[in-house]
Structure 1
Amino acid sequence: MPACPAPVFAIVVGELSGDTLGAGLIRALRQHYPDARFIGIAGPQMLAEGAETLCPMERLSVMGLTEVVPRLPELFRLRRQLEQWFVAEGARLYIGIDSPDFTLSLARRLHRRGLRTVHYVSPSVWAWRQGRIQGIRRDVDHMLTLLPFEAAFYQQHQVPVTFVGHPLADTIPMQPPTAEARAELGLDSSRPVLAVLPGSRSGEVRQLLPDFLAAARQVRARRPGLQIVIPAATPEREQEILAELTRQRMEGVQCVAGKGRTVMAAADVVLMASGTATLEGLLLKKPMVIGYRLGALTYRIARRLVKIDHVGLPNLLTEQPLIPELIQDQLTPEAAAKAVLEWLDNPDRVAALTDAFDAVHQRLRRDASATAADAVVSVLAAEPRG
C-alpha cells in the first residue's frame, strides 16, 4: 500500500504574538507529521520552522475599526490569493491564528471549499460583537483558546473547543529572572527600573508613546535614579521610538531592539499598551499600568459594542481587578505617572499582586503547543461536518 502523502496545512498569522504561537504549533505538529508543509502567511519565527509565506506578515497588521477601510481592497485581494493557493496545493486543514477579522473570513470561504478549519486564539466574542458566534459555529470545526473563561463561553454555544493554556506560561519560569535580565541589559541593580512598552504597531506607538514618555519624565522627577527602558518590537518601531525621544528631548532612556520579555523581567513596574504583552507581564509577576487609546470614531463605536468592564488580560484573569487601566481620555501623563508611583511606593501591594499572578500562571500551564497540536490532529482525522 503506498504511503499517504504528508498533509499540507494552510496557516495564516498577522501579529508577532501569533507568530510565536504558530511556530510552537508547527514544531508540535511535526512530531505527528515530520514531512508536513505549512503554507500561508507567516512571521519570522514560523519561517524559521519551515513555513512558506505568500507575503510579509505585516500586511495584515491593521489597528482599529475605521483605520482598516482604506486597506480593504488590498486585504480582499490577498484573501482571494490565499484561497486559490491553498486549494491548488491541496491543503487539508486551515489554521487561522488570531487576527480574526481576516482569518475568520478566510475560514468561511475555505470551509465552503471543503477544508477543515481550526482557529487558534479566540476573538473577544465573549466581550463584544457576540453575534459573531453564529458564524464561528458554522465556519470553524474547532476553536483553540488560551484562556479558561473563553472555553466555557464556546461550550455554552455548542462550538467544539479545547482550552490549551498559553505557551508563554509553559516557557516563562514561575520565578521571574529579574537579576539576570538586569545584568543582560547592563542596568544598575540598586536603582528602580521602569519598562515602557508602547505596542508593536505603528498606530499604537503614535497614539501612546508621547504620553508614556511624558509620564516617565514625571516619575523620574520624583525618583531621580529611575532607569527607563523601551523595547522596540521591530526596526520600524525602533525608528519611531527614537524619533519621539528626540522630539521630546528626553535623554537617559535606553531603547532596546527586541528583548521585550527581558525588559519586562528587569522592571520594577511596566507602563504598557493593552494587548497580549500584558499577559507576559502577568507571567513575569510585574506590577503594571495599562494604557490604550484608539481613534475617536473607532472608540465611540467600540464603546457601544464592548460588554466587559475591563480590557486588560490580567484583570480578566484574576478574581478582582488589580491593574490600573487608563483608556482613551483617562490616559494622561499625570494619571499614568501617579499609577506608576503607587506601585513603586507600596511593596505590600506588589506582594499581593505576585501571589495572585502566581495562581493564574499555574492555571495556564498546560503544554499549550502539544495540546493544540493534538486537537488539530483529531480534527484532521475526523469526518468533516455534514
Structure 2
Amino acid sequence: MSANIAVVAGETSGDLLASRLLSGLRPQLPDAHMHGIGGKHMAEYGFVSDYPMETLSVRGLFEVLMHYREIKAVQTNLSTQLLAERPDVFIGVDAPDFNFTVEQRLKEAGIPTVHFIGPSIWAWRAGRIKKIIKSVSHMLVIFPFESEIYQAANIPVTYVGHPLAEVLPLEPDMMAARKELGLPLDANVVTIMPGSRLSEINYNTAAFIGAAKLLAERDPSIRFVVPMAGSKQRDAYIQQVVQAKLMDVPVLLIDGRSHTAITAANSVLVASGTATLEVALLKKPMVIAYKQIWASWQIMRHMGYQPWVGLPNILAREFLVPEFLQDAATPLALADALWKQLHDDKLVTRLKQRFLEMHHSLLRDSARESAQAILQVINK
C-alpha cells in the first residue's frame, strides 16, 4: 500500500518518539512518502523534513511570543501545503500548540489526524480537551491512566505504552558507558542536562554549572559530563558558561550520546521535560530543575493542578526526586541535593527499585501498537 503520511515533531525528544512510531509503520508501508517536520532519528526511516525542526524548539509562553512570526509562518505554510496535497493521515507528535492548529484545519477538511502523546491535560490546562475534540481523529497515549480521560470525552484513543521503555535497557551497563566516554570506573560522575531547547540552555546553564562548581570544590574527584543535542545547543551552552564566568569548571562536553552520559552517571541534574523520564528509565537518581522567563513563570506557576512537574514524580504520585523551579533553582540548592544522592546508598537503592517498577509499567510494543492504530485510521 502506497501512502502519503505527514508527521510533525517539534523537538529532540519528539524526534526520538516519532522514530519509534515510524519504525513500526515503515515495514507496513514500505513505499509511503513520509514528510513534514522532524529530525535525524526520523530520517533513519526515510522521513523527509520540509522545515528545520529547530524552528519549533521553543518553550515558554513569552519565549514562543518572541519567535511567533517565524513559527506562525511555518504553521500556515505547512497547513496550506497539506490541504493541497491531502495526505492519507497527519500525525502530530507532541508540540500541541503548533500541531493542534494544523490538525484542526486538516480535520475540518476531512483529512484524518492522529496525535501521538496527549498533552498533559491531567497536569494543567484541562480546558484543552475542547480543542482536542475539534482537532484530533485519534489520540495515542503513552501513560495508562490517560485513556479514561479521552474515553470520557468520546475521543478515540489507544494506549501504546511509552516508546522509551522499549528503547532503554532494564539493566543499564554503567561500566561500559564509562569506558565509552573515557571516564574513571570508580569515580563519582554527575551528568548535567540543562535542556535541548536553546531557551532552556539559556536559562538553566548558569545555575546547573554553578552547582557543578560547588560540587567540584567539595570533591575535586567528581567528574561532570554535559551532553549537547546539536551544534546550536553547544554554542548556546558555551556562550552561557562564558557569560557566567564558569569556564574553569571541569566538564566533559560531548555531542549527542545523552543516554550514554546518563548511564555513566551516579546522579543526574536534569531540566524538567521528557529527559527526566529517560533518566528514570535508566534507573538513575536525579535532581530536576527548571528556569524560564520571569513573566512565563508567573503565569505558568498558577496553572498547575498537582504539586509535581517532573514526569517520574507525576507517575509515582510523590516527590521521589527533588524539584527546584525558578528562584529555588540556585547553584547551592542543586549542589546540596546532588551531594545527598552521591552519598546516600539506601536512597539510591530505593530509587532504582522504584524506577525499575516504573519501567515495567510503561513497557509495551509501542511501535506495533501505534502503527496498527494509524493503519486503522488510514483504512477508515
TM-score bin, normalised by smaller chain: over 0.9
Match of 2:234 among 228, 234, 238: 238
CA distance in 1, matches of 2:76, 2:207: 40
Partners of 2:10 and 2:56 within 8 A in 1: yes
Partner secondary structure for residue 226 of structure 2: strand
The 5-angstrom pairing of residues 208-223 of structure 1 reads 208-223=204-219
Partner secondary structure for residue 128 of structure 1: coil
| 2:22 aligned with 1:26 | yes
- Give CA deviations for 1:11-45 in whole Å, capped at 9, x if unaligned: 11111111112222222112221111112112122
1:14 is matched with which residue? 10
The alpha-carbon deviation at position 107 of structure 1 amounts to 0.3
CA distance in 1, matches of 2:161, 2:338: 30
The alpha-carbon deviation at position 173 of structure 1 amounts to 1.2
Match of 2:220 among 219, 224, 232: 224
Partners of 1:62 and 1:68 within 8 A in 2: yes
CA distance in 1, matches of 2:218, 2:352: 25
Q: Match of 2:318, as an amino acid?
A: Q
User: 150-159 or 297-306: which moved more?
Assistant: 150-159
- Determine what percentage of the aligned residue pairs are the same residue: 39
2:307 is matched with which residue? 309
Match of 1:249 among 235, 247, 250: 247
User: 222-231 or 40-49: which moved more?
Assistant: 40-49
The 5-angstrom pairing of residues 109-120 of structure 1 reads 109-120=105-116
CA distance in 1, matches of 2:80, 2:257: 37
Q: Match of 1:291, as an amino acid?
A: A
Partners of 1:11 and 1:94 within 8 A in 2: yes
The 5-angstrom pairing of residues 354-369 of structure 1 reads 354-369=352-367
User: 61-70 or 184-193: which moved more?
Assistant: 61-70
Partners of 2:193 and 2:226 within 8 A in 1: yes
User: 46-55 or 303-312: which moved more?
Assistant: 46-55
CA distance in 2, matches of 1:199, 1:176: 22
1:166 is matched with which residue? 162
The 5-angstrom pairing of residues 159-308 of structure 1 reads 159-246=155-242, 247-308=245-306
Partners of 1:318 and 1:357 within 8 A in 2: no
- Give CA deviations for 1:109-144 in whole Å, capped at 9, x if unaligned: 000111001000111112111111012122211111
Partner secondary structure for residue 31 of structure 1: helix
The 5-angstrom pairing of residues 34-183 of structure 1 reads 34-183=30-179
Q: Match of 2:314, as an amino acid?
A: L
CA-atom RMSD, angstroms?
1.4
The 5-angstrom pairing of residues 316-335 of structure 1 reads 316-335=314-333
- Give CA deviations for 1:281-337 in whole Å, capped at 9, x if unaligned: 001100000000121111111122211110000101124321100001111011101
The alpha-carbon deviation at position 236 of structure 1 amounts to 1.4
Note the residue ranges of structure 2 that are not aligned, 5 or more in a row.
none
- Following TM superposition, where does structure 1 have runs of at least 4 consecutive aligned residues deviating by more than 4 angstroms? none
CA distance in 2, matches of 1:329, 1:151: 35
CA distance in 1, matches of 2:237, 2:72: 32
Partner secondary structure for residue 305 of structure 1: coil
Q: Match of 1:166, as an amino acid?
A: H
- Give CA deviations for 1:65-116 in whole Å, capped at 9, x if unaligned: 0122233233232222212222333312110001100001100000011100
The alpha-carbon deviation at position 150 of structure 1 amounts to 2.3
Partners of 2:160 and 2:370 within 8 A in 1: yes
Q: Match of 1:47, as an amino acid?
A: A
- Give CA deviations for 1:254-277 in whole Å, capped at 9, x if unaligned: 101111110000000001100101
| 2:351 aligned with 1:353 | yes
CA distance in 1, matches of 2:81, 2:20: 24
CA distance in 2, matches of 1:176, 1:96: 31
Partners of 2:212 and 2:249 within 8 A in 1: no
Q: TM-score, normalised by structure 1?
A: 0.95
Partner secondary structure for residue 301 of structure 2: helix
